[in-house]
């Protein structure tokens, strides 16, 4: 007899990859995961701050030439009830990233839950002040980039309009009423290594679509 647990493990197993799962304490709420074919030198969960780490939002892998940081940013929520929490997370995470950069370059990717500029959102005027497009969240994204980090997609696709997330409501994806809220940022020292930065909006199965980069190290 095959148990439900065995079926679940089989369904979520990727042969050839090492799997690293970091769930939130609150089941089903948030969490992150990394699949890698290359074994990291080291692996770490969280940033050492309990109120953020209990939500399973940050994973760090060290490789020979860079750190890879996988992040799921908090959502500010429709009534901005978690905006303060998110801004505190942003500040703490940037400090963490800059500490890593003192050792080696960083590749930082995930769902940032913010559309940085008007080009990154289909309806900027209607969404001004809404979660994911508040002045504070956008200013923090500007701060990330001003600290020496590179938005890889915008580096290689300067004026291209493409989104990575669409609401399930009002046929938003069919109408391409979307947001670009998923990013890969890298340290400036890796700029020459960025060969591709892409959004695969042709792939379905979620309210997000895959985003990615190709680095030649």
Active-site residue set: 72, 111
Compute the 3-state secondary structure of the chain and give helix, strand, coil in percent, each to the nearest 5: 30, 25, 45
Dihedrals φ, ψ of 27, to 5°? Answer: -55, 130
Return phi, psi of residue 75, to 5°: -90, 135
Here the tokens at position 96 are 């963490």
Report the distance separating Cα 82 and Cα 129, nearest Å.
Answer: 14
In whole angstroms, how far apart are CA 66 and each of 10, 96, 135, 178, 211? 32, 15, 31, 32, 19
Length of the chain: 217
Q: How far is CA 161 from the centre of its chain?
A: 19
The number of beta carbons lying within 10 Å of the beta carbon of residue 168 is 9
């Amino acid at each position: 007899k095959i148990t439900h647990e065995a079926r679940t493990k089989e369904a979520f197993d990727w042969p050839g990859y090492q799997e690293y799962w970091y769930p939130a304490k609150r089941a089903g709420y948030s969490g992150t995961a990394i699949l890698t074919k290359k074994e990291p030198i080291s692996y770490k969960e969280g940033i050492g701050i309990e109120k953020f780490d209990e939500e399973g939002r940050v994973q760090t892998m060290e490789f020979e030439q860079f750190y890879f940081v996988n992040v799921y940013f908090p959502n500010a929520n429709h009534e901005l009830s978690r905006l303060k929490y998110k801004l505190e997370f942003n500040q703490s995470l940037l400090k963490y990233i800059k500490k890593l950069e003192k050792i080696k370059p960083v590749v930082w990717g995930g769902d940032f839950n913010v559309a940085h500029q008007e080009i990154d959102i289909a309806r900027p005027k209607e969404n001004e002040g809404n979660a994911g497009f508040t002045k504070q969240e956008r200013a923090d994204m500007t701060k990330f980039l001003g600290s020496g980090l590179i938005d890889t997609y915008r580096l290689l696709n300067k004026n291209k309009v493409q989104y990575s997330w669409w609401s399930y409501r009002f046929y938003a994806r069919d109408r391409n009423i979307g947001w670009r809220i998923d990013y890969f940022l890298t340290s400036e020292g890796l700029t020459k290594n960025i060969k591709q930065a892409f959004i695969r909006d042709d792939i379905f199965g979620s309210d997000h679509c895959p985003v990615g980069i190709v680095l030649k190290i």
